[in-house]
Chain A
Amino acid sequence: SQKIEQNSEALNIQEGKTATLTCNYTNYSPAYLQWYRQDPGRGPVFLLLIRENEKEKRKERLKVTFDTTLKQSLFHITASQPADSATYLCALVEPNDYKLSFGAGTTVTVRA
């Protein structure tokens, strides 16, 4: 069956450190993968998209990698800040499809 698995445990890190989140998928061949941020009581907010033929994407303090051989994406938040505390969701779309399939998310807490 198809599965998208994110870090099972919440991540607690010190301000200024790098947070690294994993997203592993099974029985998908995604055309692209996205990362969203979700705050309590709010809907997800789009952060980054990375395509199957791209290895790495950056946006400000965020970096995403995509390894189709390992079937894995890594999401890094560098120089983390308390304002980065949220749940981060990975989602993927298969070729010729339109709907996002989401993982369960990883909750990140950045301590001052």
Chain B
Amino acid sequence: GAGVSQSPRYKVAKRGQDVALRCDPISGHVSLFWYQQALGQGPEFLTYFQNEAQLDKSGLPSDRFFAERPEGSVSTLKIQRTQQEDSAVYLCASSLAETNEKLFFGSGTQLSVL
């Protein structure tokens, strides 16, 4: 595709429900990042993949958060037993090279946990 695609655009979940957020990066992009953005704040790093390898998951807030990129392209961020504090916009970004000097972001998934 022409850009980074994320789905769904909006997700409403009941507290305790599991959710899965999908990211289709730009074809051929080696690096993939997940960021979390609260209202009025800048994006906060969650996790980083280089191809299929998850090189850094230090930003994941708890063990309820899990991300994968099994074939080095599409990535899924899963949140188990969602809590109200998980409500945020989840942004995916990809980059052509390992230097990551220019990130291309998707439009994000807005998650609301009721």
Tell me the bound Cα distance from A21 to B33 in angstroms: 26
**Segment of B13-21, B39-47, B62-70, B73-81 engaged in the interface with chain A:** B39-47
- Residue from A32, A43, A46, A93 in contact with B91 in the complex, judged by beta carbons closer than 8 Å: A43
Tell me the bound Cα distance from A42 to B9 in angstroms: 10
Whether the pair B42, A89 counts as a contact (CB closer than 8 A) is: yes
Q: Give the interface SS of chain B, mostly helix, strand, loop or mixed.
A: loop
Q: How many residues of A contact B (CB 8 A)?
A: 21
Given contacts A100-B45, A101-B45, contact A32 B33 (CB under 8 A): no
Whether the pair A91, B48 counts as a contact (CB closer than 8 A) is: no
Given contacts A42-B107, A43-B108, A46-B102, contact A99 B42 (CB under 8 A): no
Please provide the chain B residues from 71 to 114 with a CB less than 8 Å away from any CB of chain A in the complex. Answer: 91, 93, 98, 100-108
Which range contains the number of B residues in contact with the other chain? Answer: 20 to 34
- Residue from A98, A101, A102 in contact with B100 in the complex, judged by beta carbons closer than 8 Å: A98
Whether the pair A99, B101 counts as a contact (CB closer than 8 A) is: no
Whether the pair A46, B104 counts as a contact (CB closer than 8 A) is: yes
Whether the pair B98, A45 counts as a contact (CB closer than 8 A) is: no
Tell me the bound Cα distance from A32 to B4 in angstroms: 24
Residues from chain A with a CB closer than 8 A to the CB of B44 are 102
Residues from chain B with a CB closer than 8 A to the CB of A46 are 102-104
- Residue from B4, B33, B102 in contact with A49 in the complex, judged by beta carbons closer than 8 Å: B102
Residues from chain A with a CB closer than 8 A to the CB of B103 are 44, 46, 100
24 chain-A/chain-B pairs, Cβ below 8 angstroms: A4-B42, A41-B107, A42-B108, A43-B91, A43-B93, A43-B107, A44-B91, A46-B102, A46-B104, A89-B42, A91-B42, A93-B100, A98-B56, A98-B100, A99-B45, A99-B59, A99-B100, A100-B43, A100-B45, A101-B45, A102-B42, A102-B43, A104-B42, A105-B41
